[in-house]
Amino acid sequence: MNVIIVGCGRIGAELAYHLFVKGHKVSIVDLRISNFQNLDPNFRGRTIEGDALNEDVLRRSGIETADGLAAVTNSDTYNLVVANIARDNYGLSNVIVRNYNPQWIPLYETFGFQTVSSSSWGAKRIEELLYHTEVRTVFSAGNGEIGIYEFSIPPELAGQKLSDLVSHTETCPVAITRAGRAMLTEGNAIVQTGDVLLISTTVEGIEEMKKLLDNKRGS
């Protein structure tokens, strides 16, 4: 895959190196040549000093044959304009945009870009860790609005119906792993000690589930 990364800050440099290690062709663009010092010394992709709003710079980065572009500077307006140029002027559909200020997220969504907000995602992730010390996040979708969570069934909850444990409207059971074997779930399934339950829910949903579990333990 041919990938262009605009912005060689910490995120851009890390992304560029990870893609390079996996065998992809990477071109990384930045206004300041000094920012290329953020790259791992073993990075062997292309580094292009210049303004990604400049057509010549984009052409030198390989925009006409690129498979994807990530605009990851710390300027929301810059990222948005670069993304628009890549999509509208060059027909590139695989465009990922970094969001720096969460207040800009609605505008990104209006333009229909795949957006990653490190601030929003990080805040939600920290909130999860503070709330749910016994629940582990397996997967986080979007900017953390929806997650897949994993936890083991303790002895005091053995024999309960799954539907009694997963009752919140924003919570869906995904699978149960029992004795190393995963299976799809049904509402009337009876959980056993040591079962590993996977659920998909929001932060609010996992908090409601935790309260329900605490109540059942105390009953």
The DSSP line for 17-49 is HHHHHTT-EEEEEES-GGGGGGS-TT--SEEEE
Tell me which amino acid residue 180 is.
G
Q: How many CB atoms lie within 10 A of CB 116?
A: 17
All structural domains of the chain with their residue ranges: 2-117, 127-218
pLDDT along the chain (219 residues), means of 10: 96 96 96 96 96 95 96 94 95 92 83 82 68 68 78 82 77 86 82 87 78 69
Over the Cα atoms of the chain, what is R_g?
A: 22
Q: Is 130 helix (H, G, I), strand (E, B) or coil?
A: helix
Q: Just give the CATH number of 127-218.
A: 3.30.70.1450
- Separation between Cα atoms, residue 207 and residue 9, nearest integer Å: 35
At 19 the pLDDT is: 96
Beta strand spans in the chain (E)? 2-6, 25-30, 46-49, 68-71, 95-99, 114-117, 136-141, 146-152, 171-178, 181-184, 196-201
CATH code 3.40.50.720 for 2-117:
yes
Closest to 35 (Cα-Cα) out of 49, 21, 52: 49
At 131 the pLDDT is: 58
Model confidence, pTM: 0.65
Strand 136-141 to 146-152 pairing: antiparallel
Q: Is 86 helix (H, G, I), strand (E, B) or coil?
A: helix
Closest to 183 (Cα-Cα) out of 174, 192, 193: 174
At 133 the pLDDT is: 54
CA distances from 56 to 36, 48, 53, 61, 74 (A): 20, 11, 9, 9, 22
- Separation between Cα atoms, residue 169 and residue 189, nearest integer Å: 18
